[in-house]
Amino acid sequence: MSSSGTIQIEQFDPKSEHERLRACHAIAMSAWEIDNPGVPPLTFESYVAQWQAFDGSPVHAFLATDPAGRPVGYCHITLPAKENLSMALCALTVTLDQRRAGTGTALLSQCAAVARAAGRTRLAAGVFDGTPGMPQWAAQEDTVVLPPHRGHRLGLLVKIEMMDVLARQAPEVRHVITGNAGQNEHMIAINEQLGYTISSITRTWDLEVS
């Protein structure tokens, strides 16, 4: 456990401490429209999925509370285990009433400490530029093809199948949101081929922690 002024920051296990994970979801949703403009709110189940590294990379989670014990912020840090081994990925949210009060800075310092302890030299986090959104959305997360099988249109076929399944199981959905790195030209081409257009930009900020 660490403290910053009157804020307490404590590590927890998101796989077993569901009450704290729900507190993180509540914090994220309380500021969702400001932090993620144009993006539909996440159900708890969808939110939890974002905490799970698909490749088994370690995830460290911390919850910040005020003197009354009220959750006011959280961060989780993913340490990539197979690629980008110099990086740590940070997601951080603070309740609106605690912003510009040092809580976010304290959580960011916690992220940097975890990254340094793991031998990482860069800490990365993303924020939306944002644009107005629409209702009836679904979110499509990672599309992954193993390196030996890339270049055979498998990514395109997987995304087509996903859209077919979505049309059958959730016909009320009219919009699908997804994302990819700006340098991933192959996935950009696939998304454009399927009719996706840019709705918002996520900027990644890097902090040297070595």
Report the pLDDT value the prediction gives residue 63, as an integer from 0 to 100. Answer: 97
| 84, 146: one domain | no
In a domain? residue 210: no
> What percent of the chain has a predicted confidence (pLDDT) above 70?
85
Q: Which residue has the higher pLDDT, 193 or 98?
A: 98
Last residue of one domain, picked from the residues 80, 98, 129: 129
Report the pLDDT value the prediction gives residue 51, as an integer from 0 to 100. Answer: 84
Last residue of one domain, picked from the residues 109, 129, 149: 129
Question: Which CB contacts under 8 angstroms, 24+ apart, belong to 183-191?
Answer: 186/150, 186/155, 187/143, 187/155, 190/155, 190/156, 190/159, 191/159
| 70, 144: one domain | no
Residue range 189-195: mean pLDDT, rounded: 81
Model confidence band, residue 136 (pLDDT cutoffs 50, 70, 90): low
CATH code of the domain in which 116 resides = 3.40.630.30
SS3 195: coil
How many structural domains does the chain have?
2
| 65, 88: one domain | yes
pLDDT tens digits for 113-131? 999 999 999 888 766 554 4
Average pLDDT score, the chain: 82
In a domain? residue 102: yes
Report the pLDDT value the prediction gives residue 207, as an integer from 0 to 100. Answer: 66
pLDDT tens digits for 158-177? 888 878 877 887 777 777 77
Which residue range forms the structural domain that includes residue 124? 2-129
In a domain? residue 204: no
In a domain? residue 209: no
Last residue of one domain, picked from the residues 79, 103, 129: 129
- The answer to whether the CB of 65 falls within 8 A of the CB of 7 is yes
| 49, 96: one domain | yes
| 108, 6: one domain | yes
pTM over cut 0.75: no
